[in-house]
Amino acid sequence: MLRSGLEPWHLLIVAVVFIVLFGSRKLPDTARALGKSMRILKSEANAMKDENPVPVTDTAEPPAAAS
């Protein structure tokens, strides 16, 4: 029967596939690049969350047209 969720042997299969695809030499570099990308993404998400948007008001009158 199929159950939801990952079991330990699923993770083992994924690890073997990564080793076969990337090779043992490129895995540390790939992990470093992934970690760096995650840090950049996290810092950008925090920067966007910390920004204070300027509220737009509808009460402003439109500028007068020059004749």
Summarised one tens digit per residue, pLDDT across range 10-61 is 889 998 888 888 787 888 888 899 999 999 999 999 888 887 665 656 665 6
Ordered DSSP codes for 12-67 = HHHHHHHHHHHHHHHHHHHHHHHHHHHHHHHHHHHHHHH--PPPP-S-PPPPPPP-
Give this prediction's pTM. Answer: 0.46
pLDDT at residue 38, rounded to an integer: 95
